[in-house]
Each structure stands twice: as structure tokens, then as C-alpha cells.
């Protein structure tokens, strides 16, 4: 049996992972389930799956979960905090780790899994955005297997030759075509964007996602982060990555070769497909996803992104050019700005403006250690929070 630890089991990625595991339950040993503060949801998962460990990032929530686990007579051991997360991913019986914790919170346990030499199924793009070289060094140090879960990067991985780390020129790749849905505001007049509500921004036309990543899709910051992630995953420069808006979200990304061939991975917009691919790799396994009815879809549309409408794309590309801790500053500013927008404290259009100011005012440094990365992450969050607070004083 394959021992699995799911980081962020109560989120969208975690729930979909459990759906896929349920199809072949006899093949997998669920070592650990983890969550931040969702006590009710994690307890329900513990009742259903009875993992060896349950970890809550929040210590008070862990105490509440422990009381309920004991009262129910479950054998699950409850841990808490980053130390608990790092412990379960490094256990000998943990063979694979689904890194599904959203945002910077997922960085440390994801790196711990890489250093421990696990199969790291990476759904947390921020780990590479914040500390790309450090993360890839940890993968090499632990001889880990790194498999991308983002639908776009999973598609690229499927379309790439297996020796892509030797360089695109050597394996005949011309460029990556990174697809994007364009989110819910692709045709909204620019003059109206400042008035959009959090619920509107979270109403993604194709995908069911959490609120933070839904807002990232609406601003297209998710695609900016994915450009940075793709550079590290596929050992290439951003100059060889072209973003293409594809509103149907059927083609999840493409790879163009020097002979003119373009390989694309198609499928219904369902995260269970890349999750099943990573769980079964190098073989294929059932995902529970419906067959793609290409006839009923009838058409596939493409267009170039409007950088005036989606300034976050350019901000992410600039951060990648600067390098060092610029990625951490970018990501932290985005997380803080999105949180402020979801709380109703700033308009939608202020998200990009706040990120731009953070990148201008906080000097990037060489990302030589995790401590430096986390320091600049904290600086950026504090800076954005202070700018937001000034609006209310």
C-alpha cells in the first residue's frame, strides 16, 4: 500500500484527493490529514477515514479536535502546528504528500516533504513562487519526485518530453502555451471593475475553487504565479512561456515543438484528473471524472490577455525578472490584498495597486535562506496591511 499524507485535506484539493482515493481505497494507507482551523470538517474526515494522524495548524483548534477524537474513540493521533505538519510528511510510512495548503502557509511542510525524499504532489504554487531555488534544491537533496497538481502545469508535464530538465533546445521544445480562463471579468468594462463584489469575484465560470484562488483567477494573478512556477518546474525562462486565454478551460495547456507540432492536454475542468495522474504516475488510474464530450463542446476559443485589464500578469513577470525575494514579496502582498478585498476593506482594483507599491517600496534580496524569504514575506504583508489601514484612519 502507498502511504499518503494530505496537507489541506478540508480544502478543494484535499476533498478531491479523497474522492480519488475512495475509488481504490485498498491501494492507499491514509497516514495523515491536516487542516488549519476547520475542526468540524477534519473531524468528519477522521471519522470516515481514521488516519493515523490528524494535524491542525492552529493549536487551540487541535485541542478541540483531540477532545472530539477521544470522545468518539478513534485511534487517530492529533498533532498541531508547523512541527506537526513537518513530522507527518517525513514519517517512513508516508510515501507521497499532497501539498494542498494554500498560500505561504504551505511552504515549510512542502519543503520538509521534499527533503524527506517523498513523492511531492505540489498543488501549492506559492512554494515555488516564494523560494524557487531553495525548493528545487530540497527536491534534489532528498531525491524526491516532484509532480505538479495545478491543471496547467500537470498538462505541461504530460506534454513534455521526459528529459526537459536538459533544456528546451536539447529536447526540441520551442515554448509553453499556458492557458487561462480569463475569470469572471474578461468582458466587464474596465470602468466597472472597482465596483465588483467579493461574491462576484469568487464566481468562477468553470472551476470550483476556494475564495482566495478564485480572486486570483479574477485578477489573473494566479496565472502570473503559474508563470513563475512553470519556470522552476520546467527549467526554463519566462520568455518561453506565453499566456493564452481559453475561456472553455478544456485545453489545460500546450507545448510547442520546434518542428511545428503543438501537443495539448484536454479534459473536463475537474481537479480530480491531475490528482489521479499524480497518484498513479507513471501509470494511469481512475479519477471519477466524466468523459469529455468534445462534440457537445463544439468550439475552442483563444485570445491574448489584456494587460490593462490584468496588470497582475506584468507584476508577476517583473518579480521573476528581479528574482531573489521578489517572488515572496509579490505573493505576500497579493495574499494580504486579497484578504482585504474579501473582507470588504478595499475595492477589487486596489489589489494590483497594492502589490505594485509593495514591489516598488520593499527591496528584493538574494533568497539564500528560508529565513530571508520569510522575513521579506512578513515585511510585505505588514506594508500592505498598513496601507489598507490608512484608508480607515
Q: How far is CA 196 from the centre of its chain?
A: 24
- Global pTM reads 0.94
pLDDT tens-digit profile of 91-144?
Answer: 999 999 999 998 778 899 999 999 999 999 999 888 999 999 999 999 999 999
- The answer to whether residue 313 is domain-embedded is no
Count of structural domains within the chain: 3
- The answer to whether residue 385 is domain-embedded is yes
Looking at the structure, tell me whether residues 108 and 187 fall in a common domain.
Answer: no
Looking at the structure, tell me whether residues 60 and 173 fall in a common domain.
Answer: no
- The answer to whether residue 201 is domain-embedded is yes
Looking at the structure, tell me whether residues 142 and 172 fall in a common domain.
Answer: no
d(CA 49, CA 179): 36
> What end-to-end distance do the CA atoms of the chain give, in Å?
58
For 121, other C-beta atoms within 10 Å of its C-beta total 29
Predicted confidence (pLDDT) at residue 357 exceeds the cutoff of 80: yes
pLDDT tens-digit profile of 181-218?
Answer: 998 999 999 999 999 999 999 987 777 678 998 999 99
Looking at the structure, tell me whether residues 38 and 124 fall in a common domain.
Answer: yes
pLDDT at 315: 98
CATH number, domain containing residue 382: 1.10.1740.10
CB 243 within 8 A of CB 313: yes
Q: How far is CA 336 from the centre of its chain?
A: 17
Residue range of the domain that includes 96:
2-148
pLDDT tens-digit profile of 290-306?
Answer: 999 999 999 999 999 99
Looking at the structure, tell me whether residues 163 and 251 fall in a common domain.
Answer: yes
pLDDT tens-digit profile of 247-281?
Answer: 999 999 999 999 999 999 999 999 999 999 999 99
Owner of C-alpha cell 508535464: 157
For 258, other C-beta atoms within 10 Å of its C-beta total 12
- The answer to whether residue 7 is domain-embedded is yes
d(CA 186, CA 336): 24
Which of 117, 148, 179 is a domain's end point? 148
Owner of C-alpha cell 491501494: 27
- The answer to whether residue 39 is domain-embedded is yes
Q: How many residues belong to the chain?
A: 393
Going by pLDDT thresholds of 50, 70 and 90, the confidence category of residue 393 is low
pLDDT tens-digit profile of 306-320?
Answer: 999 999 999 999 999
CATH number, domain containing residue 91: 3.40.50.720
Looking at the structure, tell me whether residues 63 and 7 fall in a common domain.
Answer: yes
Looking at the structure, tell me whether residues 259 and 345 fall in a common domain.
Answer: no
- The answer to whether residue 247 is domain-embedded is yes
Amino acid at each position: 500500500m502507498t502511504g499518503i499524507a494530505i496537507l489541506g485535506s478540508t480544502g478543494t484539493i484535499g476533498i478531491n484527493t479523497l474522492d480519488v482515493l475512495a475509488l481504490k481505497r485498498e491501494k492507499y494507507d491514509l497516514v495523515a490529514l491536516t487542516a488549519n482551523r476547520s475542526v468540524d470538517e477534519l473531524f468528519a474526515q477522521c471519522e470516515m477515514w481514521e488516519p493515523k494522524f490528524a494535524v491542525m495548524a492552529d493549536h487551540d483548534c487541535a485541542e478541540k479536535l483531540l477532545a472530539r477524537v477521544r470522545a468518539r474513540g478513534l485511534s487517530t493521533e492529533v498533532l498541531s502546528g508547523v512541527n506537526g505538519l513537518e513530522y507527518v510528511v517525513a514519517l517512513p510510512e508516508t510515501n507521497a504528500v499532497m501539498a494542498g495548503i494554500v498560500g505561504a502557509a504551505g511552504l515549510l511542510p512542502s519543503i520538509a516533504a521534499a527533503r524527506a525524499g517523498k513523492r511531492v504532489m505540489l498543488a501549492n504554487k506559492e512554494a515555488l513562487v516564494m523560494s524557487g531555488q531553495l525548493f528545487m534544491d530540497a527536491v534534489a537533496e532528498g531525491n524526491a519526485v516532484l509532480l505538479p497538481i495545478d491543471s496547467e502545469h500537470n498538462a505541461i508535464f504530460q506534454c513534455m518530453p521526459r528529459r526537459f530538465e536538459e533544456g528546451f533546445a536539447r529536447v526540441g521544445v520551442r515554448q509553453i502555451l499556458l492557458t487561462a480562463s480569463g475569470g469572471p471579468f474578461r468582458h466587464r468594462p474596465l470602468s466597472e471593475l472597482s465596483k465588483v463584489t467579493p461574491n462576484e469575484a469568487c464566481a468562477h465560470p468553470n472551476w470550483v475553487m476556494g475564495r482566495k484562488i478564485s480572486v486570483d483567477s479574477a485578477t489573473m494573478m494566479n496565472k502570473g504565479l503559474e508563470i513563475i512556477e512553470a519556470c522552476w518546474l520546467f527549467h526554463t525562462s519566462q520568455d518561453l512561456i506565453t499566456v493564452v486565454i481559453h475561456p472553455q478551460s478544456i485545453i489545460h495547456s500546450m507545448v510547442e515543438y520546434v518542428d511545428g507540432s503543438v501537443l495539448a492536454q484536454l479534459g473536463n475542468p475537474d481537479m480530480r484528473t491531475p490528482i489521479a495522474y499524480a497518484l498513479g504516475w507513471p501509470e494511469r488510474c481512475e479519477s471519477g471524472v466524466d468523459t469529455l464530450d468534445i462534440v457537445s463542446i463544439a468550439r475552442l476559443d483563444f485570445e491574448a490577455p489584456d494587460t490593462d485589464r490584468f496588470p497582475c500578469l506584468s507584476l508577476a513577470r517583473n518579480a521573476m525578472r528581479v528574482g531573489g525575494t521578489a517572488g515572496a514579496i509579490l505573493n505576500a502582498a497579493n495574499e494580504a490584498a486579497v484578504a482585504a478585498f474579501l473582507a470588504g476593506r478595499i475595492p477589487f482594483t486596489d489589489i494590483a495597486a497594492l502589490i505594485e507599491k509593495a514591489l516598488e517600496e520593499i527591496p528584493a534580496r538574494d533568497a539564500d535562506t528560508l529565513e530571508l524569504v520569510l522575513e521579506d514575506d512578513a515585511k510585505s504583508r505588514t506594508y500592505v496591511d498598513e496601507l489598507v489601514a490608512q484608508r480607515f484612519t
